[in-house]
C-alpha cells in the first residue's frame, strides 16, 4: 500500500528533491507540499496523509508548533521532523509532543524513505547520534527557555517572539532573563550563542 506523505519545507530545492527521490526509494507518494507552517496545517486538514514531514525552521510557524497542533488533535498521526541544525533540545521537545520520527536533512534519501515507511507502520525512527546527545545533555535550560533562545538566534525581537508564541512581552522577557542567568553572558543574543555552542539548543 502506498504511503501518502505531506512534505513541508520552506526550501524549495530540498522539497522538490525529496518529492522526486522518495518515491524511488519505496512505495511512497508525496501527495502535497507546503512552504510554511500555516500552509502545512491547512493542507493536513484537507489531505490527511499517513505521514507528515516537517522542517523545523519555517516561516510563520515552526515545524514543532505545527506538530504540536496536529498531534494535539490527532495523537496517532505519524510526524517526521527534518532539520538542518539538529539540536538535542529540539529532539527532546519533539519527543514530548509525540513525534515518532526525527532526522537531519543530510540523511540519505533511502534512510528518510525507511523512516517514512516505519512511521506509517506505527514504528519510530530517531537519529541515533542525536538521541545519544539528547540523553547525555547537561542543559540547565527549561523547554521554554530553550525555545526563547532558539528564536533569538533566528533574529526575532521580543515583540516577535511574543506574537509567535502567543505570550505577553513581559512573560517572554521573564523567560529570557531566566535563561540568561543560567549562562555567564549578559545579553540574550550572547546567551543564545553560548547555549548553541554547548548544544543546549
Domains of the chain: 3-135 (3.40.50.2300), 143-197 (1.10.10.10)
pTM: 0.71
**Which H or E run includes 7?**
strand 3-8
pLDDT of residue 49: 97
The CB density around residue 121, as the number of other CB atoms within 10 Å, is: 10
Q: Exposed, middle or buried: residue 62 (CB in 10 Å: 0-12, 13-18, 19+)?
A: buried
Residues 148, 176: contact at Cβ < 8 Å?
A: yes
Residues 60-95 pLDDT 10s: 888 988 999 999 999 999 999 998 766 767 888 888
Are 150 and 192 a contacting pair, CB within 8 Å?
yes
Of 80, 78, 92, the closest CA to residue 130 belongs to 92
Helix axes 169-181, 143-153, angle to 10 degrees: 100
Q: Which pLDDT belongs to residue 7?
A: 97
Amino acid at each position: 500500500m502506498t504511503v501518502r506523505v505531506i512534505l513541508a519545507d520552506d526550501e524549495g530545492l530540498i522539497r522538490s528533491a525529496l518529492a522526486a527521490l522518495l518515491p524511488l526509494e519505496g512505495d511512497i507518494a508525496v501527495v502535497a507540499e507546503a512552504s510554511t507552517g500555516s500552509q502545512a496545517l491547512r493542507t493536513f486538514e484537507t489531505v490527511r496523509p499517513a505521514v507528515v514531514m516537517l522542517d523545523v525552521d519555517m516561516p510563520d510557524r515552526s515545524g514543532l508548533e505545527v506538530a504540536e497542533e496536529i498531534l494535539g488533535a490527532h495523537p496517532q498521526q505519524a510526524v517526521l521532523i527534518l532539520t538542518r541544525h539538529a539540536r538535542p533540545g529540539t529532539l527532546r521537545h519533539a519527543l514530548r509532543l509525540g513525534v515518532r520520527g526525527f532526522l537531519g536533512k543530510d540523511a540519505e534519501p533511502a534512510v528518510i524513505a525507511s523512516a517514512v515507511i516505519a512511521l506509517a507502520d506505527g514504528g519510530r525512527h530517531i537519529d541515533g547520534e542525536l538521541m545519544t546527545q539528547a540523553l547525555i545533555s547537561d542543559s540547565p535550560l527549561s523547554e521554554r527557555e530553550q525555545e526563547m533562545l532558539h528564536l533569538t538566534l533566528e533574529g526575532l525581537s521580543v515583540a516577535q517572539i511574543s506574537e509567535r508564541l502567543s505570550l505577553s512581552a513581559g512573560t517572554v522577557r521573564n523567560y529570557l532573563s531566566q535563561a540568561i542567568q543560567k549562562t555567564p553572558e549578559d545579553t540574550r543574543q550572547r546567551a543564545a550563542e553560548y547555549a548553541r555552542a554547548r548544544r543546549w539548543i
